[in-house]
Amino acid sequence: MKRPTLTERQKEVLALLVKGNTMREVATILKITPRTVAFHKYRIMERLEISSNAELIRYAIKHRIG
């Protein structure tokens, strides 16, 4: 089974979240709205079939994102 891939923007958002930034801080850094950051996070979790922040962080560490 092929591992789902993330877009470059999703990788950027995930990397910044994993570093401990809030959604508002990520939004400011990327010059997008906090709602857009939340949407990216939702789509990442949906695509990877992840249901918690802890799983999301584990994924990022395992795949060296951030």
pTM of the model: 0.89
Q: What is the pLDDT of residues 30-64, one digit of tens each?
A: 999 999 999 999 999 999 999 999 999 999 999 99
The torsion angles phi and psi of 40, rounded to 5 degrees, stand at -60, -45
pLDDT of 2 over the 90 cut: no
For the chain, domains (ranges, CATH) are 8-62 (1.10.10.10)
Owner of token pair 């906090």: 34
Q: Are 16 and 25 in contact (CB under 8 A)?
A: yes
Q: Are 21 and 57 in contact (CB under 8 A)?
A: no
The continuous run of DSSP H or E covering 19 comes out as none
pLDDT of 1 over the 80 cut: no
Among candidate residues 19, 7, 1, 9, the one with its CA nearest the CA of residue 57: 19
